[in-house]
Amino acid sequence: MISPGTILDGLNSRLFQASPFKNSRTARLLWTQLCKRSPINFRQLVRIPQERNAKGTSLFTLAALANYRSCGSKETEIDARELLDSLMTIRLPVSAAQPGATTLTGKGARFSRRAAHP
């Protein structure tokens, strides 16, 4: 079975990013739905890089932390820490052209929202 993170990352396709349709909202929606609903896995054909999905990893991390808080066992702590470590290694691109993009700024690397500068 293909995980949800691999189904929904069709916009990461190098082929789609090189196309003139990459800025079209309708084309992006159609491409995502094609990648999501196709019975054939054509990820390699359209050059979708194999990556870990940050949102999916975040959700699994939250579940593992809740499990650790309720159980408190060493095994659940190790699971939660491994997921946290893997989440910290994921690099998310932030474009200065995206207004209100979430960035890591300031001491202690707190999340803040700042307006993009033209």
pTM of the model: 0.48
| Helix spans in the chain (H) | 4-7, 14-17, 25-37, 54-71, 74-89
User: What type of residue is 55?
Assistant: K
> 51 versus 110: which is more confidently predicted?
51
The phi-psi region of residue 19 (left if phi > 0; otherwise alpha if psi is between -120 and 50; otherwise beta) is beta
User: What type of residue is 58?
Assistant: S
Handedness of CA 42, 46, 50, 55 (dihedral sign): negative
Digit-coded pLDDT (tens) for 2-47: 454 455 678 888 888 999 998 999 999 999 898 888 888 888 888 8
